[in-house]
Amino acid sequence: MKGSRPGKLPPPSPTSDGGRVCAAPGCSTRLSIYNLGSACWQHADLVFPNYRGKRLAEGKA
């Protein structure tokens, strides 16, 4: 009987599950699966100035 081999590991795929990268040009930062945006947190504010939407009224709770 032949021993079971561990088998070959799948090659690293740039588009693997949850392997998204920042949409900013030149940025290859991998996005977290919890990051619903298309850019990393560093570029999110630059690419999407209004990403966070309007700020809550100051002074009022």
- Per CB under 5 A, does 35 bind Zn ion? no
Residues 5-24: x where in contact with Zn ion by CB under 5 A, - otherwise, as a string: -----------------x-x
For Zn ion, the binding residue among 6, 12, 31, 43 (CB under 5 A) is 43
- Per CB under 5 A, does 40 bind Zn ion? yes
- Per CB under 5 A, does 31 bind Zn ion? no
Q: Are 40 and 29 in contact (CB under 8 A)?
A: yes
The contacts of residue 18 (CB under 8 Å, 6+ apart) are: 33
